[in-house]
Structure 1
Amino acid sequence: MTRPVIAYKSDPVRGAVWHEIFSREAPDLCLVDWEPEGEAAEAPYLVAWTPPPDLSRAMPRLQALFCIGAGIDHLPVHELPQSVQVVRMVDPNLTASMVEYVVMAVLALHRDLPFYRTEQAAGRWTPRPVRPATERRVGLMGLGVLGQAAARALAGFGFPVRGWSASPKSLDGIETFSGGAELGRFLSGTDILVCLLPLTPATRGLLNRDLFARLAPGAGLVNAGRGGHAVEADLLAALESGQLSGAVLDVLATEPPPADHPLLAHPRVVVTPHVASATQPAGAARQVIQGVRAHLRGEPIAHAIDRSQGY
C-alpha cells in the first residue's frame, strides 16, 4: 500500500525534527522535503510558511495546506481552489509563549518600564507612584485560542480584563464585546490595549488615530498580531500627543524595518523582532499527523480556516 505523501517546505534544521517524529510516530505517512519535481510536487499535503509560487500549478493534487504558524494572512488563499483546505497551527507551546509575551508586555507598560529605560539612559532616578493592577483595565482584541489564554493569565494578576472579537464569545470572569457596534464601549476606558487579531481586510489599519482617541488618555498599546493592523503614522502621532504613553510592538508593517525607522528609536516604544510566539517543531509535526489522518478518514481537519472570514 502506498503511503500518503506530505511535502515539507520550511527550515531544514527544524525539518530534521519533523522527519524523526514522522519516522517514529507515523510510519504510515511519508514526509518528503519540498522539490519542484517528483513526489513532493505530486503530494496531496503541504507543510509550509512560504509555499512555492503559483501553488495550484506547482502542486496540482494538493488537498490541504498546513501553515507552519498561527497566522495565515501571508498565504495565497484566494488563489487556491475551494477544495483545498488551509490549516493554521494551534500548538500548546505556541500559546504558552504568546501568553508569556503578552504578560511581559502588559506588566512592562503597567509598571512604566519604557519611562524608566529612558530615565536610566539619562542618568536620572525618578520614581513614579505605583498604580494597582486592580485599577488598570486591560483590553484584548482577539479572543481566539491565544487571546483567551492571555486574558485568563492577565486576570490572574488582578487586572480588570475585557475582550473584543468579531463574533460573540463568552469567557468566565472576562467582560466581552463583539462586532463594530460594541467596539466603542470596549475601547472606552481601556488603559492597556492588546492586539492579537488575525489580519484580514476588516482588521487592516484598525489601530489608527480614531481608535487611539477612544482609549483612556495615556493608554498603552501591545501589538503582537500583525504589523498591518497599525497605521504607524497615527501611532507615532498618538505617542507624541500623549494619548498613548507607550507601546510594546512585536510586529511592524515592514519586517525587518529600516534602521532609521522612527519607532525603533522612540524612547517610549519597545520593539521586538516578531518573536512573541514560535511554533515548536515537535508539537507542529504531531498536529499535522493528526490532521492528515483525520482527512484520510474523511473527518474534518482541526483548525482549518473559514475562508469567508479569513481565519
Structure 2
Amino acid sequence: MCILYMADPADAQKWRDCLSSMAPELEFREWPDAGNPAEVRYLLAWEPLPKFADQFCNLRVLYAAGAGVDQFDLAGLAAGVSLVRLVDDSMAGIMAEYVLFAVLALHRDILAYQQDQREGRWQPRPIVLGSQRRVGVMGLGNLGRAALGRLQPLGFQLSGWNRSLKDVPGGRCYVGPGQLDEFLAQCDIVVNMLPLTPETKGILNAATLARLPQGAGLINVGRGAHLVEQDLLAALNEGRVGGAVLDVLAQEPASPGNPFWKHPRVLLTPHIASDVQIEGGVAVIVENLQREREGRPFLNEVDRFKGY
C-alpha cells in the first residue's frame, strides 16, 4: 500500500517519519515522485492537482492536510473515494485555546487597552462578570464543541448555532436559518467556526452583523470567505461592532493596504488558530486503516451532500 504526500514540502519528512513509526505497512511517496500511479491508494494533500483522480485509478481515501475541505472539488471526486479530515483531539484543543484567548481579549476590553497604551492613556473600564457575558458559537462540529467545553468553566452564558441540534453545555442550541437572527440577537461575542459551504459563504455580512447587540464582538476562525470584510469595516467604524479578532481573511496574506492591519478595534493573526498536528493526523490514518480492514465507516469522513 502507498500513500502519496502532496502538501507542504517543509513538513514531508515529519510526516514520513511519523507514518513510518505508526503505520510501517504504508509506503510513503512525495509528489512529484509518485511512482506507479496504480499503487497509490491514499493521498495526503492540501490542494491536489486538477483531475488527480484520473491519475490514480485505485485511490481509496483523500486525506485533507488542513482543518477545512472547501478547497476540494467534491463533484470531481470519484464515487469510490472518501474525503477525510485529519481532525483529532490535539487539533481541537489548540483551536479551543485560541478561541478562549480571543473571547477573553474581547470580554476584558484588551483591544481598547492596547489603543490606550499606544496613546498614553490610563483609563480603567468597568469589569463585566463572565456570568453576564453571552458567548455564541456558530458551528458545533468537533472544533466548535471543544471551544464550548473550554469556555464553560469561566461561567459565560453559552449558546450555539448549527445546522442540526447539538448539545450546548449549560446553554441553548439554535438550529437552522430560521433561528439565526434569534441566536445573533443574544450574542455579546459571536465566534464563527462554520465550515465553508455555498450556504455559509458571506454569512457574516451587513444584515447579520446588524442583528448583534450594539457593540458586540466578533471572532472569525472559520474561513475568510465567511466574512464580507467591507461590511465588518463599516460596522466597526460606526460602533455597531465593538471589536473583532480575525484569524482568517479573504486574501492571505493580507494586502499591505488592508485596513484591518491598523484598525484599533481589530486583532489580526495570520491563520494560526489551529493546524493539523502530524502525530494526531497519522493517528486518524492508522485508525482508518483498521476500520477499512474491518469494513467499518471511516473516522472524520466528509459528507459530500453537506460539504463537511
Under a length normalisation based on structure 1, what TM-score does the superposition of the two structures give? 0.95
Match of 2:141 in 1: 144
Amino acid at match of 1:237: A
Q: Secondary structure at the match of 1:32?
A: strand
Kindly indicate whether residue 174 of structure 2 is the aligned counterpart of residue 177 of structure 1.
yes
State percent identity of aligned pairs.
44
2:63 counterpart of 1:66: yes
CA distance in 1 between counterparts of 2:195 and 2:9 reads 27
Find 1:212's aligned residue among 209, 214, 235. 209
Q: Residue 288 of structure 1: CA displacement?
A: 1.2
1:60 and 1:265 map into 2 onto residues whose CA distance is: 50
Aligned counterpart for 1:267 among listed residues 261, 264, 269 = 264
- Cα distance in 2 between the residues matched to 1:264 and 1:122: 17
Indicate yes or no: 2:228 matched with 1:228: no
Instruction: Tell me how far 1:69 sits from its aligned partner.
Output: 1.6
Offset at residue 58 of structure 1 (A): 2.9
Pair 1:76-2:69 in alignment: no
In the alignment, the residues of structure 1 paired with residue 290 and residue 267 of structure 2 have an alpha-carbon distance, to the nearest angstrom, of 43
Q: 1:184-233 deviations in whole A, cap 9, x for unaligned?
A: 21111210000000000000000011111111110000000000000111
- How many matched pairs? 308
Are 1:247 and 2:244 counterparts?
A: yes
2:163 is aligned with 1:166: yes
Moved more, 102-111 or 163-172: 163-172
RMSD: 1.5
SS at match of 1:197: coil
Match of 1:134 among 131, 134, 137: 131
Query: Is the Cα contact below 8 Å between 1:5 and 1:39 reproduced in 2?
Result: no
Q: Which moved more, 1:255-264 or 1:47-56?
A: 47-56
Deviation at 1:52, TM superposition (A): 2.2
Counterpart position of 1:196: 193
SS at 1:44's partner residue? strand
2:23 and 2:220 map into 1 onto residues whose CA distance is 38
Q: Which runs of 4+ in 1 moved over 6 A?
A: none
CA distance in 1, matches of 2:250, 2:22: 39
Instruction: Say if 2:106 and 2:217, in contact at 8 Å, map to a contact too.
Output: yes
Shift in Å at residue 82 of structure 1?
2.0
Alpha-carbon offset, residue 172 of structure 1:
3.3
- Which deviates more, 54-63 or 255-264? 54-63
The alpha carbon displacement at 1:137 in A equals 0.3
Are 1:16 and 2:13 counterparts? yes
Q: Does 1:277 align with 2:302?
A: no
**Is contact 1:52-1:58 (8 Å) kept?**
no
Residue of structure 2 in register with 1:5 after alignment: 2
2:23 aligns to what? 26
Which one-letter code corresponds to 1:93 in the other structure?
Answer: S
Q: Partner of 1:117 in structure 2?
A: 114
Distance 1:91 1:16 in 2: 21
Among 235, 240, 257, the residue aligned to 1:238: 235
Amino acid at match of 1:101: Y
Q: 1:37/1:28 Cα in 2 relative to 1: closer, same or farther (>3 Å)?
A: closer
- Partners of 2:101 and 2:162 in 1: how far apart? 22
Q: Could you tell which deviates more after superposition, 244-253 or 62-71?
A: 62-71
Quick one: distance in 2 between partners of 1:7 and 1:292? 15
Of 149-158 and 192-201, the range deviating more from structure 2: 149-158
Unaligned runs of 5+ in 2: none
Q: 2:253 aligns with which of 252, 256, 275?
A: 256
Q: Are the aligned partners of 1:6 and 1:40 in contact in 2 as well (CA < 8 Å)? A: no
Shift of residue 81 of structure 1?
Answer: 1.6
